[in-house]
């Protein structure tokens, strides 16, 4: 049997932290009071991301395109959103002006919404799905890209569509 001394002279709390770090790194089970913290790098990075603080003047719709690391090209993410008819009139005072595309809860891209059109991928009659037509918004992209919008998504399973600063409440979630 081989014994490795990684560190000595630690307090009990420091020793426990080293123990759990080594166990996490090696994928071992351990019986300490700390939680098992091993996870995919993308999820760990997402947990460390700065929080987005969406300005009140930025009326946005947050569109969840997939899990962490999902590819979010414009042609892929602009189609098939279940948007309320009251929000697709871009001339209305409270309709979203920008679409924030999110993978997991991290902002991938921001687009200025020029207009909404019926989506070619609507699942059937009675279900309205729309596609946005837009252009990249470099200023907002620089402000929000890589930031977490988890505070705007609410608890539980977040909706694929969330409106921020568009209605009478600061966040409206589509159902």
Q: Are residues 21 and 105 in the same domain?
A: no
Going by pLDDT thresholds of 50, 70 and 90, the confidence category of residue 175 is very low
Q: Are residues 91 and 114 in the same domain?
A: yes
Do residue 28 and residue 76 come from a single domain? no
Quote the pTM value.
0.72
Whether 22 and 93 map to the same domain: the answer is no
Average pLDDT over residues 69-86: 88
112: which residues sit within 8 A by CB, 6+ positions away?
Answer: 97, 98, 134, 135, 136, 137, 140
pLDDT at 121 over 70: no
Q: Report yes or no on 149 lying in a domain.
A: yes
Structure letter (DSSP) for residue 81: B
Average pLDDT score over residue span 113-120: 90
Parent domain of 104: 50-173
pLDDT digits (tens, 9 = 90+) for 80-95: 899 888 889 999 988 9
Q: What angle do CA 163, 50, 150 make, to 5 degrees?
A: 35
Residue 90 CB coordination number (10 Å):
14
Angle 114-91-66 from CA coordinates, rounded to 5°: 45
* Claim to verify: residue 145 and residue 167 sit in the same structural domain: yes
The count of domains in the chain is 2
Q: Collapse the DSSP code of 51 into the 3-class scheme (helix H, G, I; strand E, B; otherwise coil) and give the result.
A: strand
């Amino acid at each position: 049997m081989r014994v490795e001394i990684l560190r000595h002279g630690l307090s009990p709390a420091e020793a426990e932290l080293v123990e759990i770090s080594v166990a996490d790194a090696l994928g071992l089970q351990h019986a300490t009071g700390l939680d098992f913290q091993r996870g995919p790098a993308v999820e760990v990075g997402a947990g460390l991301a700065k929080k987005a603080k969406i300005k009140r003047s930025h009326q946005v719709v947050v569109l969840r395109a997939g899990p962490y690391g999902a590819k979010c090209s414009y042609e892929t993410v602009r189609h098939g959103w279940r948007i309320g008819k009251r929000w697709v009139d871009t001339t209305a005072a409270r309709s979203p002006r920008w679409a924030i595309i999110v993978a997991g809860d991290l902002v991938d891209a921001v687009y200025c919404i020029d207009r909404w059109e019926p989506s070619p991928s609507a699942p059937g009659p009675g279900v309205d799905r729309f596609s946005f037509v837009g252009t990249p918004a470099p200023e907002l992209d620089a402000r929000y890209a890589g930031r977490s919008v988890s505070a705007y998504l609410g608890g539980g399973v977040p909706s694929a569509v969330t409106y921020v600063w568009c209605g009478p409440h600061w966040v409206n979630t589509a159902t």
